[in-house]
Amino acid sequence: EDMTKQSNSSSSSASTSTVVAASAAAAVGAIAGTYFYKQRNNDNKMEGIKTQVEGLTKQVKGALHLGRPAGSTKGSPPKEGERKYLIGGNWKCNGNVASLTELIDTFNKAGPIPANAKVAICAPFIHIPLCLSKLREDIAVGAQNCGVNEKEGAYTGEICASQLKDIGCVWVVIGHSERREGFGMAGEDSELVAKKVKVALDAGLKVMFAIGEKKEERENGTTNDVCASQLAPAAKLLEEKDWENVAIAYEPVWAIGTGLTATPEMAQETHAFIRKWMSENVSEAVAKAIRIQYGGSMKGANAKDLLAQPDIDGGLIGGASLKADFFNVINGVSQDE
């Protein structure tokens, strides 16, 4: 999974991918034309031609990824039994083609990623193809939401998990507080969030499952109750093996985008509770293995202290993921000297 070689220049690869994609697309068109012509004359040969069309269609998809530089790693991978950090960037509804192309170039030149960390960028839907064609390969690409519908169909304006998987996404964020609360629309309750998590997992995606309390809930001492209530529907719906592809993103709502951050000790206390709850309500094995990210104004300046806590296994990063500072967060993971 982790790439250890630097790629050739992205401009050369991008040029190659364009030529390959164009050639493959032309071949698809030619064979498809032959397919429909011969269908009227000789149905016995159609299966072979159909297979060729499908194969070349896969080549077109593959060619779109040829422009991605490989990236590189440093340090040692996690020891047996240790959890690998997960640093996720959530671009939210930000960026345009020009600004994100520039940001991707910054990330591509930012140097090696620690071998004991996995990194992902969850982009707006319309910018996922940009990431899949230009972003370094050692940063996985994901989405910020998916539909509750299990299959494609008459769901106007929706994007289903299988479509995200098909285009090349690895991760999806489900249950972010902004979607739970709603913004000019009804929010998503915990039962709906759990259903989406299951749909995404069944489609082959990995999920950053977000939970967290509001300011008044923190102040009245119900943080643990809120987190438990958000976890419970998923614990009932998911099978134990499903949790292998889930990371829990604890995001105190009062700290998201406000500049306020839970102290490392506060965050660790809640993360420890979440792990204990998972042990008691799912299984001890899942609790030990699952990664629990912290989200809530994590940035380069505070990442190291937060990530040094025993139950904090990464971050779900908002504002800092839109800046070069994202790599300061990545490099904040604890590494063996």
Yes or no: say if 123 and 321 are a contact pair by the CB < 8 Å rule. Answer: no
Cβ neighbours of residue 279 closer than 8 Å, sequence gap 6 or more: 286, 287, 288
Backbone angles phi, psi at 209, to 5 degrees: -95, 105
> Distance between alpha carbon 295 and the CA centroid of its chain, in Å?
14
Distance CA 317, CA 121 (A): 9
Yes or no: say if 328 and 300 are a contact pair by the CB < 8 Å rule. Answer: yes
Q: Please give the DSSP secondary-structure letter assigned to residue 36.
A: H
**Buried b / exposed e across 133-142, counting CB within 10 Å, b at 16+?**
bbbbbbbbbb
In order of 215, 226, 248, the CA distances from 222 in angstroms are 10, 6, 19
Q: Please give the DSSP secondary-structure letter assigned to residue 323.
A: S
Number of H helices, E strands in the chain: 13, 10
Yes or no: say if 15 and 134 are a contact pair by the CB < 8 Å rule. Answer: no
Distance CA 162, CA 168 (A): 10
Catalytic residue chosen out of the listed positions 176, 178, 213, 217: 176
Q: How many CB atoms lie within 10 A of CB 69?
A: 23
Distance CA 7, CA 17 (A): 14
Residue 176 annotated to the active site: yes
The amino acid sitting at 279 is S
Residue 271 annotated to the active site: no
Catalytic residue chosen out of the listed positions 188, 213, 251, 271: 251
Backbone angles phi, psi at 176, to 5 degrees: -55, 145
Distance CA 257, CA 274 (A): 23
Q: Please give the DSSP secondary-structure letter assigned to residue 90.
A: E
Task: Calculate ∠ Cα 269-275-277, nearest 5°.
Answer: 100
Catalytic amino acids? 176, 251
